[in-house]
A and B are shown apart, each in its own frame.
Chain A
């Protein structure tokens, strides 16, 4: 079974430029997450989708970040314009909550490493 797929793996841009990240979750996983992982830190949730609905976007900086999950499968995360402080690894994860509250294991993709110059 294929895991969570993300692209690109690496992206280098200059500040004020736009950038977009793409995620394809594990087939059948209705819940999709975007995390940001700063160097030497644990992942921090940016947004969570249940199918195509964003159910928790409280940590998403909405002035420059946007996300969408059309048709409840693939998702894109966009930053416009990028700032120096946005340099981080952006992780996508997916889960299948049908296993109940005790499961809901999140499966992470390899991430996109963003460098803003």
Chain B
């Protein structure tokens, strides 16, 4: 019940295309859903996050879509660029800032020029 399931494991997208990464969770106590971006040799960095009281959040080319009833959320990267090539992790935690963050297994995204 603590798991966050992420797919696909890897993704190749042409430059300018849309990259879509999906995640699902079971624990209804989760109340904060961040996405992290990780480049080789670096730690994960927060990209964008959403609370379950909204169905979508957009920041630039990055959009989170959230379906509370299905317990699913996804990251959309519009106009994907080679610089977006990285590993992306979805995550979830409870309402309290002290709650442990549970990470998905990651998606390795490659954008072909």
Which residues from chain A sit less than 8 Å from chain B, CB to CB?
Answer: 4, 40-45, 48, 55-56, 91, 93, 95, 97, 100-111
Query: Could you say which interface size class chain B belongs to?
Result: 20 to 34
Cβ of A89 to closest chain B Cβ, rounded Å: 9
Q: Are A45 and B95 in contact (CB under 8 A)?
A: no
Who on chain A is nearest to B51 by CB? A102
Tell me how many residue pairs across A and B have CB atoms closer than 8 Å: 53
* Residue from A48, A91, A108 with most neighbouring chain B CB atoms (10 Å): A108
Set of chain B residues within 8 Å of A108, measured between Cβ atoms = 42-45
Does B41 make an interface contact (CB < 8 A)? yes
Q: Which residue on chain A has the smallest CB distance to residue B32?
A: A102
B103 contacts A110, C-beta separation under 8 Å: no
Report B-chain residues with C-beta under 8 Å of the C-beta of A97: 97-98
Q: A4-B43, A91-B43, A93-B43 are in contact. Are A43 and B100 (CB under 8 A)?
A: no
Q: Establish whether residues B105 and A103, one from each chain, have CB atoms under 8 Å apart when the complex forms.
A: no
Contact B43 A105 (CB under 8 A): no
